[in-house]
Structure 1
């Protein structure tokens, strides 16, 4: 619930402010333009002191992942990406977060020259435009240091990602699951609600930014081997992709692109060049996840819920097993409880050529299994994770 804010003039007269919604006097584009022209209106420095001073570069900057609404940069070369979006529903949240993460992944492949080229395209100015724009606001900025700073920011994925808009609702647990899927990046992500108010006669407009959520640290998640589990490490392990893994990769890309789950808040797996993919569950992807897998040695495909061997993971597994009868009745597949590995698994043998990536029954089995496991285990794990015990 929100109280009604009001303005007070020099004569102590008050004027109430009335909150507007999207499509009631303003649009995402209007908000985007206001934030671009007034970067100090967003609390970048409160989110991360290293971003206290920012300079607008351009709007709608083209990338291979689509146009970025707003791009800012600090005098030290740190890049800021802002998306202005309407937060309509849980599915929109997943799509918007996925979109801004795609932008960040795309920028991580860029050089400084790539950024300079795209900013030049948008501004129509020639020369080292990112640097020139910064120098207009901060004359003491050294060009070589700025270029090196931007290059380093791009290479490391060291960005600030901001989703700003009205109607945003934060769910910290859900955010952790989305971000757990991102590796090898050092970004900070924040969600800022930008409530818009006007006076009754609409002669004054007031924008109130409010930070709802911000990350502190992104844990790196790595996937290894043909039949593996997510593990946390300091560096990503790079493995050569053999022809079998290439087939898996193509299958998972197409499968995940077509997958539709009942639960709109469930983070979607990354398509990997491996025989398995992972769907993060509460409380985090390093504690609970669902795996879909191909297992060549047994001519088997399957799906399992895995809880980590940590104290929290083991406790969650045993708490779920207390409800084993209800879970068994709810799932449309026969399941096995694997106490040694804290898993709940279902699987089936596959006849014929391996891998069965061209068999439509494989996709049907995987989509049905993961949907059923998400529907059965996600709400239970959410309740157990939130329980004070």
Structure 2
């Protein structure tokens, strides 16, 4: 991609070529540029209700999660989270969307006082630093301090954020990016990918000149709570269809805090050691008591579970609805080969089951109580091997099937 400069000091039209992806500014320089010139962010194209942005903090600390590259707010209390990535780093392409969603989930648990504390730490200001910054910047649109605090508090509680991933060249397909956006119940966020294409040249005086072209590549908007629909490309992610927890695992009843704590500890240890062979596979996310899930192509799921009631652990791929049944039939044509692939990984052949409403492909093992440390280590190892091989065997096949099955 090139720019053509007319009426340049050199006289003739000048051809300016784009700075190659990954060779432009460092991530911290891109972040600082956005904070210095927040009008570069095309927020009006995403949500016309968001006004001029006020930079709040760089590297805003979110305890136990990380630091937000850039945090901004407008006069009406709309909260904007920005992650900057140079796309020469393949790991960044895989992880940045998951990272920004982690920030959103953590901030949704913040009170206004929690946010005020972290903003004060980041800015070195005392008092209600967030309100003071907005009042001194864009103004508060007629709201007094109490009204502003109430508006921000409600946005925090609802998980209502604008999440922006900003890079110098975003090459991740929107279909794959969409897989990272599912499984976020309780958040009412908007999400967008913004490319900052950069063009550089040396003028007649020998000075370097730079032009930055912001471009909105994809956006999602919340149609209703926990339902996300992509308007800029092809992804539709309906979060109302959650996987069903295994029998005996607490859906529909009051959960024992000890069971919840034990499950979360087990799941967090599992996730810390879970590495997929496929670098494009998003990591699993903890769901309810006893289960976690990872997205697969075309809106399908890999669910991992541990059921204390039945004393079993397992993993299954959920293929709901008519599209799921069509995918199941296509996959079943490779059943012998898939069984062989799992056997080579030291895993048994899965159970292939279908009903009128969908299909599942399941691996399960008995794991009777009590679950001591040794038993939990064996469970985690088995579930990691199962998850990795199921992704290896089914993800590429689901991608090839396509959206129509």
Q: Which TM-score applies when normalising by structure 1?
A: 0.86
Q: CA deviation at 1:380?
A: 1.1
Equivalent residues in 2 for 1:116-135, closer than 5 Å:
116-135=116-135
Q: 2:301 aligns with which of 275, 289, 295?
A: 289
**Gaps spanning 5+ residues in structure 2: where?**
228-238
**Gaps spanning 5+ residues in structure 1: where?**
230-235
| Residues 329-369 of structure 1: per-residue CA shift (max 9 Å, x gap) | 3222222211236122222334x643466323322221111
- Rate the CA distance shift 1:248–1:71 in 2: closer, same or farther, 3 A: closer
CA distance in 2, matches of 1:271, 1:16: 51
Q: 2:283 aligns with which of 263, 268, 272?
A: 268
Question: Are 1:171 and 2:173 an aligned pair?
Answer: yes
| Residues 282-315 of structure 1: per-residue CA shift (max 9 Å, x gap) | 212xxx212223344554332222211x222222
CA distance in 1, matches of 2:323, 2:81: 35
Q: CA deviation at 1:239?
A: 4.0
SS in 2 for 1:204: strand
CA distance in 2, matches of 1:85, 1:237: 41
Q: Is the 8 A contact 1:8 1:14 kept in 2?
A: yes
Equivalent residues in 2 for 1:220-239, closer than 5 Å:
220=239, 225-227=245-247, 239=254
Q: 1:316 matched to which residue of 2?
A: 327
CA distance in 2, matches of 1:296, 1:63: 33
CA distance in 2, matches of 1:245, 1:133: 40
| Residues 122-142 of structure 1: per-residue CA shift (max 9 Å, x gap) | 333444332233233444532
- Rate the CA distance shift 1:16–1:174 in 2: closer, same or farther, 3 A: same
RMSD: 2.7
CA distance in 1, matches of 2:248, 2:179: 19
CA distance in 2, matches of 1:25, 1:321: 47
Question: Are 1:29 and 2:28 an aligned pair?
Answer: yes
CA distance in 1, matches of 2:364, 2:165: 40
SS in 2 for 1:320: helix
Q: Is the 8 A contact 2:248 2:308 kept in 1?
A: no
- Rate the CA distance shift 1:173–1:228 in 2: closer, same or farther, 3 A: farther
- Rate the CA distance shift 1:22–1:385 in 2: closer, same or farther, 3 A: closer
Question: Are 1:9 and 2:14 an aligned pair?
Answer: no
| Residues 151-206 of structure 1: per-residue CA shift (max 9 Å, x gap) | 11111110001111113223222222211121101011111111221113552111
Q: CA deviation at 1:324?
A: 2.0
Q: CA deviation at 1:379?
A: 1.0
CA distance in 1, matches of 2:364, 2:369: 18
SS in 1 for 2:329: helix
Equivalent residues in 2 for 1:351-366, closer than 5 Å:
353-355=369-371, 358-359=374-375, 360-366=377-383
Q: 2:317 aligns with which of 280, 305, 328?
A: 305
Q: 1:193 aligns with which of 195, 205, 217?
A: 195
Q: CA deviation at 1:41?
A: 1.0
Q: CA deviation at 1:226?
A: 4.7
SS in 2 for 1:141: coil
CA distance in 1, matches of 2:363, 2:138: 61
- Rate the CA distance shift 1:226–1:7 in 2: closer, same or farther, 3 A: same
Question: Are 1:39 and 2:50 an aligned pair?
Answer: no
CA distance in 1, matches of 2:124, 2:108: 24
Q: 1:184 aligns with which of 178, 183, 186?
A: 186
- Rate the CA distance shift 1:243–1:109 in 2: closer, same or farther, 3 A: closer
Q: CA deviation at 1:262?
A: 0.6
Q: CA deviation at 1:94?
A: 3.0
Q: Is the 8 A contact 1:193 1:212 kept in 2?
A: yes
Instruction: Count the aligned residue pairs.
Output: 375
Q: 2:394 matched to which residue of 1?
A: 377
CA distance in 2, matches of 1:297, 1:131: 50
Q: Which TM-score applies when normalising by structure 2?
A: 0.83
CA distance in 2, matches of 1:238, 1:66: 33
